[in-house]
Amino acid sequence: MGLTMMAPGSSPEQRGRLALQLRQVSWITCWIALYAVEALPTCPFSCKCDSRSLEVDCSGLGLTAVPPDVPAVTRTLLLLNNKLSALPSWAFANLSSLQRLDLSNNFLDQLPHSVFGDLTNLTELQLRNNSIRTLDRDLLRHSPMLRHLDLSINGLAQLPPGLFDGLLALRSLSLRSNRLQNLDRLTFEPLANLQLLQVGDNPWECDCNLRDFKHWMEWFSYRGGRLDQLACTLPKELRGKDMRMVPMEMFNYCSQLEDENSSAGLDIPGPPCTKASPEPAKPKPGAEPEPEPSTACPQKQRHRPASVRRAMGTVIIAGVVCGIVCIMMVVAAAYGCIYASLMAKYHRELKKRQPLMGDPEGEHEDQKQISSVA
């Protein structure tokens, strides 16, 4: 009816061609409308948007909060070099298409456990140069496609167990310039496809707590993984040395320590001691002893490896002390001998002088001898 009014007196063939053209135009119009909706319909204020790469660049704007009008089809969101100090749990809600997120060079100190809950397609996460001290073990739970993770230059002192569970696609991980002293091997075992690990510039304590992670590092290097230098800070004997170059013989005491701890736990039949009861209570016959926790018992000192320098210093000090004592004994013996010889000489001279002084006892003894002869 509409076609007849638009082209009166036209043939059926002309009307069919016109209808086909109208359909093509309507389809083209629909595709243009859909593309316009998909290609970033709105751009956040002061940010730069690229409709081809679906990138939103809000870096270096001094932002204190994430813009609320980020398009849902955004694939790259750049928020580096701002003043973000906290993120609400809904900061990235409805951004399920986001693949790359950069939050570097901000003031973030903690992250809610569900802040990345909607980022199921995230492949790269940059958190470099913030003030993050702790991480929740479920922080990356909903991002199984993550390939690159940068946590360098933060205040991390430890990593929660299970943080990397499910991140089978992770290829590179940076933990440089934090406060890490030791790491748990079980935390890194799920990363079967990891290729690059950066752990330098941390205050590593190369003791028993890092022994198992040393085994994992050797396995990681053996299968072709790249790892930067893990330089020891403590003990002093290993300061500056790469943990991978420290021989395993240095950690033989760890097994001895574990055996001592296990045997100590088996040798205690009753409850631990307390200040009120210095002797352990005897268990009742027929009933199993129930140990009660107590903080009053002295804990066994931690076994430490022998230090060659410390042992040599102890030997030197002991030798000096023994030498001083021996010298004092020789001086005392010499003084006693001199004193004894002087006293003997004095008594001999005294006896020689007694007859000259008119000793009455001497004269009486002479008279006794004369009377006995007579």
Of 26-40, 43-57, 200-214, give the lowest mean pLDDT range.
Answer: 26-40
Amino acid at residue number 365: E
Spans of all domains in the chain: 43-254
pLDDT band for position 36 (cuts 50, 70, 90): very low
Q: Decide if pLDDT at 333 tops 80.
A: yes
pLDDT in the model for residue 109: 92
Whole-model pTM: value is 0.61
| Integer Cα distance of 62 and 214 in angstroms | 42
Burial class (CB in 10 A: 0-12, 13-18, 19+), 213: buried
Output 357 or 350, whichever has higher pLDDT: 350
CATH superfamily of 43-254: Ribonuclease Inhibitor (3.80.10.10)
pLDDT in the model for residue 11: 66
Report CA 12 to chain centroid distance, whole Å.
Answer: 83
Of 179-188, 215-224, 253-262, give the lowest mean pLDDT range.
Answer: 253-262
Q: Decide if pLDDT at 39 tops 50.
A: no
Residue range 91-137, pLDDT digits in tens: 999 899 999 999 999 999 999 999 999 999 999 999 999 999 999 99
Of 11-15, 87-91, 243-247, give the lowest mean pLDDT range.
Answer: 11-15
Average pLDDT over residues 55-76: 95
| Integer Cα distance of 214 and 217 in angstroms | 5
Q: Decide if pLDDT at 162 tops 90.
A: yes
